[in-house]
Structure 1
Amino acid sequence: MQPFALQEVKLSKGIFKNAQEVDLKYILSLNPDKLLAPYLIDAGLPLKAERYGNWESSGLDGHIGGHYLSALAMMYASTGNTEMKTRLQYMVGELASCQAKNGNGYVGGIPNGKVFWERIHNGDIDGSSFGLNNTWVPLYNIHKLFAGLRDAYQFADNQQAKQVLIGLGDWFAELIKPLSDEQIQQVLRTEHGGMNEVFADLFIITKDKKYLDIAQKISHRNLLNPLLAKQDKLTGLHANTQIPKVIGFEKIAKLTNNAEWSDAAQYFWKNVSQTRSVAFGGNSVREHFNPTNDFKKMLESNQGPETCNSFNMLRLSMALFLDKNDVSYLDFYERTLYNHILSSQHPEKGGFVYFTPIRPNHYRVYSQPNTSMWCCVGSGIENHTKYGELIYSHSDTDIFVNLFIPSTLNWQEKGIQLSQNTDFPYKNNSELVLKLAKPQTFSLNIRYPKWAESVKVMVNGKDQTINAKPSAYMSLSRNWKNGDKVSIEFEMKTHLEYLPDGSNWAAFVHGPIVLAAKTSTEDLKGLFADDSRMGHETKGKLFPINKAFALVDESKNYLSKLKQIDNLNFTLDSLHLQPFFELHDARYQMYFQTLKTSEFENQKALQKQQEDALLALEAQTIDKINCGEQQPEVDHQYKGEQSNSGYDDEKFWRNTRSYISYQLQNKNNAGKYLEISILDDFKAENLEISINGNAAEIFSTDDKNIRIKLPTSDNLLLKLSAKTKAPTPRFHQIRLLKQQIEK
C-alpha cells in the first residue's frame, strides 16, 4: 500500500477545503524573519526582525520555525501556492547561512545552544521529563527543525534543505559519539519528539546506514521495552512525548524487518486508540495519559485532550495502515480527523486549539498569529495543509478510496484521474467519476466504513453485489472507461459511545460524527488568546458538573429522546445537537451522564458535594503548580538540579537531592498563604524552604501539608532545597491561596 503525493490530490469545495484556506491565511500572517530570529541570534548574525514572544522567547525559541518549514512545504505541495514556495526557499536559505556561520553543521534556535550542546557532548547530563540541564526540551525543539528540513525536501524538492539536513544530522552524530548507551538513554528521559524517526528518514534519503544505526541507538528503551513485553506502563506519562517515539519505532521496524518493534507499535496504537481515547479521537488530561479505568479527572479538567497528540496519532495510524493494510486504522483516522483535527481550527477567524475539554459546559481557546506560539500552533499550521494525504492510496495497479472528502486524484503515471463529488457527512453518499485517456483494467477499492449500517454501490447506475464487511474494502474490478461513474450510499445511525472506563458518561455519535450541544456563551474569558504564558488555557469559570444536562430514564430509552432534524442536526429536549466540528465561540456539552430515574437524586447530591468542595478550593486559589507535570512547571519557570519526577497512586510528584525552584504570580498581592502538599512525611531536618531568597515562615504542618505565610510581593520565587544529600519529600502540588483552607 502506497500513499499518493500531496501534489496528486487536490481538495474540492467543502469543509476541508475551507479549513485549508483558513490555515493558508494564518501561515501568511506569520513573519518568517521573526521565526528565523532565534537561529540568527544563536549564529551571531544580524537580526532582520525581533523574535516572537511567548514560547518563542522563553525557552522553546525556534520550534515554530521548524513547524513552519513543514507547513510551507505541505501547503505548497497541496495547493501549488507560489508564495509558500518563495517563503520556504527564503527560510531554508537563511538557515543555511546560520549553518555556514556556525561551521560545524549545527543550526538551531535553542537559547545558549552552543554552551548547552557542549555540555551534552562532554557527558554533563542532568535531565528530567522536560528539562535537560535546565533547558526546556532542547531535543524536542531541534526535532522540529530536522522534520521541517526533511519535509521541505520530501514535499517540495528543496535540495538546499536536504544539504542542511544532512549537515545537521552529521553534527548530531558527532555530538553523541562520545556518549555511552546509558548516557544516551539518560538524555532521552527528556521529551525529544521523533528524533529516531528523522534519523530513519535520513537513512531513506541518503542510504547511509550510520543514520539507521543512530535511529536505533536513540530509541527510548524505557518506553520500548514494556511495549515489546505487551505491558501497559503508559498511565501518568506525558502523552505527546511518547507518540512520536512510537512512530519512529514503526519506521525503523519497517526498514529493518523487525517484527517485534512493529508489534510494539501496534500494541501502543491499540492501547491508546481503544482504551485511552475519547469519542472525538483525542487522549490525555493535563497532557498526560490518565488511568484507563478512571476518566474522572478528564471530565473535571479544563485541560482536556491536547491537539498535538491527535496530530501524532494520525501520523502513527497512517504509518501502520500503509504497513499493515488494515482498514481499522482508517476508522480511527477518520474519526479523529473530522472530530478533533477539523474542530481544532476556528473555521472563520483562524486560530488553533490546544486543549479540548470534555468537561460539560466548558469551552476552548484559539491562538492568534502574533501572540500564540504554543506546540499546538506548530502542529496546527501543519494539520490543515495535508488533508489529501490519505483520501486515496494505491498498490502497483489498483486504487483505494479511503475517505469521503471532495477531491480530485490525478495519477499521472497511470493516466487516471478520479474525481470524488460528495457533501459527506451532510449527505450520505459519494460519487466517483473516472477520466481515462484509454480504457484500463484495474480494481477500484472503496472503504466500507465500520460505522456504516449498510452500503449500496452502483456503477453507471447499475447495482453491484457487495460481499465485503465493515472495516474492509469493496472491490470493483473491471475494464474501466472514460466517464464511468461509481455511486456509493451509506446508511448512518446514531449511537451512544461511553467513556472507555465503563462509567455512565456517554457521547452521541452519528456515523463517524460526534455531536455536541451549545450550552452558553457566558464568561468566555480568553477565548482568543493573549500573549500570557498560559494563554492557551481557559480563564473562564468552571460551571458545576452537577448542573450539567443528564439523560435520566431507563437505558433503552436514551436514544429515543433524540429527534432528528436533518442528517447532522438533532434536538434533545431543549438542546440542539450538531457536529462538534461546527461548534465554536461557545461553551458546549459533548458527554452526558446516563442515570436511571431512581439514581438521579442521590447521584446529583453526591456530585454537588464534590463540586462544591472543588470549586470552593479553586475560588481561593490565586496560582498553583502541579509538580512533575510539564506545562505547570514550565509555566512557573522551573529550575532544579539532581531532581526526579514520577507518578505514583495517580499523583504526580517531584523531589530533589539538591534544589528545585518555581516562580509564582501573586496578582494584586491577593495570596496570603502557600500550601505545599507532599506524598511523604515532613522531615524539617532535610528541607529548607525560601521565598525570594529569605527563609520561609512556616505557619503550620501536618504529615502531608506544609503551610507558609507569605511576604507581600507580586512575584514569589519559591526554592525547595535538600539540607543533606538525601532526597526531599515528593512534592505533589503547590497552591497560592487567599486564605487558609481547613482540611
Structure 2
Amino acid sequence: MTDTTKHNWRRRHLLKASAGASVLGSPLFSFSAAAQTDVLIKGTGVDVASELQVARPIPLEQVRLLPSIYMDALKANLAYLLRLDADRMLHNYHRFAGLPTKAKAYGGWEADTIAGEALGHYLSALSLMYAQTGETSMLARVDYIIDELERVQNAHGDGYLGGFMRKRANGDIVDGKEIFAEIMAGDIRSAGFDLNGCWVPLYNWHKVFAGLLDAQRYCKNQKALQLGLGLANYVAKVFAALDEQQLQLVLNCEHGGINESFAELFVRTGDRRWLALAERIYHHKVLDPLAEGKDELATLHANTQIPKLIGLARLAEITGKSHYRKASTQFWHSVTEHHSYVIGGHGDREYFDAADSQAQHISEQTCEACGTYNMLKLTRHLFSWAPHSQYFEFYERAHLNHILAHQNPKTGMFTYMTPLMSGMPREFSTEDDSFWCCVLSGLESHAKHGDSIYWSREATLFVNLYIPSRLDWQAQGLQLEMTGAYPYDEFVTLRITQIDRQNKRQNQTPSHAETHLQAQVQSTKDSNAKLTLALRIPTWANGFSAEVHATQHNHAAQTSKRSNAATKKYSHRDSDGYCRIERRWQVGDTIRLHLPMQLRFENAAGRPAQASDSPVALLRGPTVMAADLGPADKAYTAPAPALVGDSLLGKFIRLKGRTLRYQSIGIVRPKDQQFLPFFQMHERRAAVYFPRFSNAQWKVAEQEYAREQKEKQDLIARSVDIMHLGEMQAERDHQLTADISYPVSYRGRNGRDARTGGFFEFTIKVKPGQLHLIAAYWGEERRRRFRILIDQTEIQYVELKGEFPGQFIEQTYVIPESVTNGKTSVRVRFQPEQGYTAGPVFGCRLVLAK
C-alpha cells in the first residue's frame, strides 16, 4: 500500500482481514493486511476506495430498542426534542439574513457569540431519532428546518449560512459573517476559542454541516445536501484566500471536524474539490506528532482535538494514506490507555494532563461529555478497520458509565462535566438557558443508542453491545430479538424470529455507507447457507458460556419445538475476543449467553499500585460501582471515603431485593457505605475512587489523611470562584482580556504570563465578607515583579525569587473589604513592572477567609 491517493474508480473484491490479533494494549493488526473494498456513492456513479473498512454497523433504521435503561434515556430525550422550539434556534439565522424572526432566541450559549451551533446538533438529533424510532414528528421538524435554511441561504445570495456572532473591539455584538472579509485579507486573530472576535465559527459550521448531512442520510432530504454544497462553496472561498501559514493560524482556533465535513461532501458528490479541501484542513501542530507515534497531548484542550482525528480517520478510509491512519490509531490508544478514567471519560477541566497521571487529577471537573461522545465516534472507525473486542470493551465502558450518567432520565437534562471527586454532585442543564456543547451532543448521544449494537462483515454478525433490541438484518434476511437485564444480570438471550434469505430485501434504499455490504452477499442466494453470530466476550467474563437451543421443525405437521438434544454449548473465545457460532439458523433458535460478573478493583494510573494512597475504583462486569454519599441537594461534609483492610473484595455483600446494590462490611472509613451503579446516581453524591490502605498502613495514615481531607473540604467550601489561567474555556467564561500576554504550560499545568508593557485581566465572582485571592506559581521563578489590582485598586506587589525549587507554590493575598463591598464580581489584573514579567500564574482561587 502506498501513500498516494488511490482513486482508480474500479470495484475491488473484499479480502479477508488478518485473523490474528494480540492482547489488549498491543498492536492489533498490520495495516498492510487491511482488507480492500469500495463504497459506491449512491446517485453519483463514483466508487471511492475504502481499503480499511471491513465491517459496518447495521443501519440504525434496522434496529429498534426494547425496554431498558437505554430506552428510558431515549424516551427522555425524545420528549425534550419535542419541547425544543426550532424557531428559537433559527432566530439568528433569520435575523442576519434580513428575514423576520419567529421566536425569541434561547439563552445560555445560544445568547453568546457561539449562537447557531445548537441548530446543527438539533438537526442531527432529530434525524437520528427518526432513524432509531420512525417517529414522523422528527421528520416533520427536519423538513421544516431545511425549508427555513433554504430561505436564509437564498436571502444571503452567496451560499452563506450561520447564526454565530462577533464581538467587536468596542463591545458591539454583530453578525459573525463580517470576520471572513478580514480573514481573507490576512487580518487573522486566532486565540484558541476566539477567531477575530467570534467564538469557534468553524467548529460551529462543522455542526451545521453534520446536521445537513444527517438530514440527507437519515431523512432522505436531498435539499439538505444542496444547502451544504452552497455553504461549502462559501467556506471554500475563505480558505482559498489563505496561504499555508495563514491557514495554520486559523486552525489554531478550535475548528471541530470540519475536515470530516468536506470529506463527506466528496463521498456524497464525487466532487474532488471537497477532498482536496478536506486534506488541506490539517493542523500540523497537533496531528504531526501523532502521525509520528508520539503522545504529546498534555495541556491540550481535549475535545478540540478529537474531531480532527475523526475527520482524519474518514480521510484514511477514502485515500488509504497511512499517516492519517497512524495518527488516528495512535490518538485512540493514547487516550483510552493513558488518559482515561474508569468511567471511560478523560480530561480534567476539559484538558489532557500528562499520560498516566489520572490519580493526580480526580477533581470536580473531570470528564467532559463531548469528549466521550466524540471518542465513541472515533472508536467506530477503528473497529470497522479491524474488528476486535478491545474497541467495544472501551465503547461499552464509556457508553454505559459516562454517556448514561450525563443525562438525567427523569428530566432529560444533561451535565457538562461528570465529577469523579468524592461527594461532588452533578450539575445539570436547564430547559432554555444552557445549551452548552455537552447539552447539544447529548441530544445526539441519546437519539442513537442502537447504532453500534450490531455490525456485519459478509455473513458474520457481530454483537458488540448487549442492549435489549430487535434487529432486522435486511442484507441477510435475518431478524432476531435480544432480551435480558444486562448489565444488572449476567444472562443475555438472543432469539431468531425470522429467516428469509432467498428474499433478502435488496430493493430497500441503502445509505451510501452500506451499499457495498449488499454487494458482498449477492452471491449468497442459498437460504440454507450458514451465518455466523460473533458474540463479544469481555475480558472480565471469565468462565463465560453460550448455549444454543435449536428448534426442530416438523415440516409435515407444520410445527416447531425446542429439543434438549439439539442444545450445544460454546465456551471458546477467539483471539479477537469473540465467541463465534456458525450454523444454519432457523426461526426459534435461541442463544443463552452467560457473562459471569465478579467484583474487581481497577487502579487509577499515576500512583504505584502498592502506594498507601493509590486510588482504586470498584467494578462489576462493565459497571462502575460507586458509594452512595447521600442526596445531591444536601451537603456532604465528611472526609472522602477510604478503603481499609485486607481481602477487601470479600467484604461486599449484595443486598437482596435491589436491582444492583452492595453493602460494604467493616472496610470503609469513616463509615461503611452502600454501592450502586455510578451511571444511575444522577441525583446522588457519589464516591468513585478510594484510597486503599492495609490495616497497618491506616494506623499511620489515619490522622494525616483526615487532616488533608478536612483541608480540602474546607477549601472547597470557602471557594467563591476559580480561574484556570491558560485554559480557553475558563478564560472565555471569565471574560479575560490581555495584551503582550501568553498562555503557557509547564509540568502538566496551564497558566498565563504578561511581559513588560502588557497585562492580563479577568472577571471573578465575589461574596460579602473578608476575601482572599490565592495564586499559584512555579517555585523556581526568579526576577518576576508585578502588581495585582482589583477594580484598579492595587492589593499586592509581588516579587518571585525562586525560593521553592521543584514545586508549585500558592500565595494568599488579603483583599480589602472596601474593594468588594456591594459587588457580585470584580476585575483582577496582573500587571508587570517595567522590564519584568508577571507570572506565569498557574491559576487563581477566590476564597472566603477562615
Given the two structures, how large is their TM-score scaled by the length of structure 2?
0.80
Code of the residue aligned with 1:570 in structure 2: it is Y
Residue 64 of structure 2 corresponds to: 10
Residue 653 of structure 2 corresponds to: 563
Q: CA deviation at 1:728?
A: 5.2
What secondary structure, in the 3-state scheme, does the structure 1 residue paired with 2:333 have?
helix
Encode CA deviations 1:141-194: one digit per residue, 9 max, x unaligned: 222112111211122221111111111111111111111112111111122111
1:664 alignment partner, one of 764, 773, 786: 764
Cα contact 2:86–2:145 (8 A) shared by 1: yes
Cα contact 1:42–1:110 (8 A) shared by 2: no
What secondary structure, in the 3-state scheme, does the structure 1 residue paired with 2:676 have?
strand
Distance 1:735 1:564 in 2: 42
Residue 231 of structure 2 corresponds to: 168
Residue 599 of structure 1 corresponds to: 697
Encode CA deviations 1:283-331: one digit per residue, 9 max, x unaligned: 11111112234334432x2112111111111111111101221221011
1:475 alignment partner, one of 580, 594, 599: 580
Q: 5 Å matches for 1:49-64? A: 49-64=103-118
Q: Which has the larger radius of gyration?
A: 2
Code of the residue aligned with 2:119 in structure 1: it is G
Residue 629 of structure 2 corresponds to: 519
1:436/1:479 Cα in 2 relative to 1: closer, same or farther (>3 Å)? same
Cα contact 2:120–2:212 (8 A) shared by 1: yes
- State which drifts further: 611-620 or 509-518: 611-620
Residue 429 of structure 1 corresponds to: 491
Cα contact 1:620–1:737 (8 A) shared by 2: yes
Distance 1:523 1:71 in 2: 31
Encode CA deviations 1:191-246: one digit per residue, 9 max, x unaligned: 21111111111111111122122112112111111112222111111111111111
- State which drifts further: 140-149 or 12-21: 140-149
Residue 364 of structure 2 corresponds to: 302
Distance 1:436 1:269 in 2: 38
1:279 alignment partner, one of 334, 339, 342: 342
- State which drifts further: 277-286 or 729-738: 729-738
Cα contact 1:449–1:471 (8 A) shared by 2: no
Residue 533 of structure 1 corresponds to: none
1:386 alignment partner, one of 442, 448, 452: 448
Code of the residue aligned with 1:305 in structure 2: it is C
Within the alignment, does 1:137 sit opposite 2:137 as a pair?
no
Distance 2:592 2:289 in 1: 46
Within the alignment, does 1:181 sit opposite 2:244 as a pair?
yes
Within the alignment, does 1:702 sit opposite 2:799 as a pair?
yes
1:237/1:62 Cα in 2 relative to 1: closer, same or farther (>3 Å)? same
1:355/1:415 Cα in 2 relative to 1: closer, same or farther (>3 Å)? same
1:403/1:293 Cα in 2 relative to 1: closer, same or farther (>3 Å)? closer
Distance 2:595 2:177 in 1: 58
Q: 5 Å matches for 1:324-723? A: 324-434=386-496, 435-437=498-500, 439-441=527-529, 442-459=531-548, 460=550, 462-469=567-574, 471-503=576-608, 504-521=614-631, 523-524=633-634, 543=637, 547-554=639-646, 557-565=647-655, 568-573=660-665, 574-640=672-738, 643-656=741-754, 658-668=758-768, 670=769, 674=773, 676-678=775-777, 680-681=781-782, 683=784, 692=791, 694=792, 696-703=793-800, 711-712=819-820, 713-720=823-830
1:642/1:100 Cα in 2 relative to 1: closer, same or farther (>3 Å)? farther
Distance 1:650 1:608 in 2: 27
Q: CA deviation at 1:724?
A: 7.5
Q: CA deviation at 1:10?
A: 0.6
Residue 528 of structure 1 corresponds to: none
1:134/1:296 Cα in 2 relative to 1: closer, same or farther (>3 Å)? farther
Residue 536 of structure 1 corresponds to: none
Q: CA deviation at 1:468?
A: 2.4
Within the alignment, does 1:316 sit opposite 2:378 as a pair?
yes
1:469/1:501 Cα in 2 relative to 1: closer, same or farther (>3 Å)? farther
Cα contact 1:621–1:735 (8 A) shared by 2: yes
Q: CA deviation at 1:280?
A: 1.2
What secondary structure, in the 3-state scheme, does the structure 2 residue paired with 1:77 have?
helix
Distance 1:77 1:726 in 2: 61
What secondary structure, in the 3-state scheme, does the structure 2 residue paired with 1:491 have?
coil
Q: Which has the higher helix share?
A: 1
Encode CA deviations 1:432-480: one digit per residue, 9 max, x unaligned: 2221135442222222222211222222251234432475222222222
Q: CA deviation at 1:55?
A: 1.1
1:155/1:722 Cα in 2 relative to 1: closer, same or farther (>3 Å)? farther
Q: CA deviation at 1:607?
A: 3.1
Distance 1:721 1:548 in 2: 39
How many percent identity over aligned positions?
A: 34
Q: CA deviation at 1:678?
A: 5.0
Q: CA deviation at 1:110?
A: 1.1
Residue 35 of structure 1 corresponds to: 89
Cα contact 2:570–2:579 (8 A) shared by 1: no
Cα contact 1:128–1:644 (8 A) shared by 2: no
1:455/1:36 Cα in 2 relative to 1: closer, same or farther (>3 Å)? same
1:422/1:616 Cα in 2 relative to 1: closer, same or farther (>3 Å)? closer
What secondary structure, in the 3-state scheme, does the structure 2 residue paired with 1:285 have?
coil
What secondary structure, in the 3-state scheme, does the structure 2 residue paired with 1:653 have?
strand
RMSD of the TM alignment (CA)?
2.5
Distance 1:296 1:413 in 2: 47
Q: CA deviation at 1:427?
A: 2.2
Encode CA deviations 1:520-575: one digit per residue, 9 max, x unaligned: 12645xxxxxxxxxxxxxxxx6746xx22222113xx0111112336833221242
Encode CA deviations 1:334-388: one digit per residue, 9 max, x unaligned: 1111111112111222211211111112221222212221111001111111111
Q: CA deviation at 1:631?
A: 2.6
Code of the residue aligned with 1:558 in structure 2: it is L
Number of paired residues?
Answer: 714
1:491/1:178 Cα in 2 relative to 1: closer, same or farther (>3 Å)? same
Cα contact 2:775–2:843 (8 A) shared by 1: yes
Encode CA deviations 1:640-678: one digit per residue, 9 max, x unaligned: 45643231123211235655432233344x465655555
Residue 197 of structure 1 corresponds to: 260
Cα contact 1:146–1:165 (8 A) shared by 2: yes
1:717/1:575 Cα in 2 relative to 1: closer, same or farther (>3 Å)? closer
Q: Which runs of 5+ in 1 are unaligned?
A: 525-540
What secondary structure, in the 3-state scheme, does the structure 1 residue paired with 2:675 have?
strand
Encode CA deviations 1:15-41: one digit per residue, 9 max, x unaligned: 111111111011111111111112222
Encode CA deviations 1:618-657: one digit per residue, 9 max, x unaligned: 4554333111112321211223456432311232112356
Q: Which runs of 5+ in 2 are unaligned?
A: 1-54, 166-174, 502-526, 551-563, 609-613, 666-671, 802-810
Code of the residue aligned with 2:704 in structure 1: it is L
Distance 1:424 1:379 in 2: 25
Code of the residue aligned with 1:314 in structure 2: it is L
Distance 1:159 1:724 in 2: 62
Distance 1:471 1:579 in 2: 28
Q: CA deviation at 1:42?
A: 2.4
1:639/1:33 Cα in 2 relative to 1: closer, same or farther (>3 Å)? farther
Residue 284 of structure 2 corresponds to: 221
Cα contact 1:451–1:470 (8 A) shared by 2: no
